[in-house]
Homo-oligomer: A and B are copies of this chain.
Amino acid sequence: MPDAKQQALPAANRTVFFVSDGTGITAETFGHSLLTQFDLKFKQIRLPFIDSLEKAYEAVRKINDAYAVEGNRPIVFSTLVQANLSEVVFKSKGLHMDLIQTFVAPLEQELGIKSTHSVGRSHNIADTEEYKNRIEAINFSLAHDDGQSHKNLSAADVILVGVSRSGKTPTTLYLAMQYGIKAANYPLIPEDFERGKLPSALPVFKGKIFGLSITPERLSEIRNERRPGSKYASLENCRYEVNEAEAMMKREGIHWLSSTAKSIEEIATTILQEIKSDIKTY
């Protein structure tokens, strides 16, 4: 994900290309990780689905055009699996960061077998069980967003709880989309605090409940964007709700984390560590 803070950085006057025979998401994610290590702002062009010689030559033309215009070598992150396409793109005037070819050779040597050179194989999964699980998990998470349904909670891998706007919904959707985790979420609301009890559908599933909390200041800021000046968004009310929610989670022995300075990805990864063994075979 691009970092908006970088908008204020000096322009590199240089274009970065992400070239892939698939979606280019891997090349782009990885390229971003590297480029954020430099305090410069780059123009960025994604060239996905480069899966023929013709398209590879077209990509080279675009890279060389950028060079001609800017006078600086474009940076090219590529995940081209087919060696003949990679060779074509490699002849462009860009600085070539070849994510596949760089690592395939040492892997082939270590594993003692040749790579299969399958194009876009890691994304070509629309027909697999894994993929079906993801879609099913997304549907599950949507149906169980915000305490909408008590049905089938026993099928949930995790149930997130927390005050309104603490980050539950994006986290459950990310867990479903990225990892195929069935995640329900329930808001903790003033009525629960008055009763001093978790929402009634939950206690039986305590083993898979995980909490999100947030600082009252940040919560008030987020809620004010939605309902400016409301009691709901007031710092006083946010303090009350957060205190009550944390007290309740403590009392119930529910693990929680603070979402305040964390991205969806960081929250989801932390939860995954808590609820799942980190070992799987693939």
Contacts and interface: CB of A to CB of B under 8 A. Distances in A.
Interface of A: 1-7, 11-12, 14, 22-26, 29-30, 32-49, 73, 75, 79, 81, 95, 97, 99-100, 102-104, 106-107, 110-111, 113, 115-118, 120-131, 134-135, 138-139, 142, 145, 169-170, 173-174, 177-178, 260-266, 268-270, 273, 278-282
A212 B97 CA distance: 34
B280 A2 contact: yes
Contacts of A37: 81, 100, 104, 107, 115-118, 121
Contacts of A24: 269
A202 to B, nearest CB: 22
Contacts of A106: 95, 97
B170 A138 contact: yes
B81 A111 contact: no
10 contacts: A1-B125, A4-B131, A7-B282, A22-B266, A23-B266, A25-B29, A34-B104, A125-B263, A173-B177, A174-B177
A263 B126 contact: yes
Contact of A178 (B25, B116, B266): B25
Given A37-B81, A177-B173, A269-B48, A281 B1 contact: no
Given A23-B266, A262-B126, A138 B33 contact: no
- What copy number does this chain have within its complex? 2
B104 A44 contact: no
Nearest to A127: B261
A162 to B, nearest CB: 15
Contacts of A142: 142, 145, 169
Nearest to A15: B279
A35 to B, nearest CB: 8
Contacts of A117: 37
A264 B113 CA distance: 31
A16 to B, nearest CB: 9
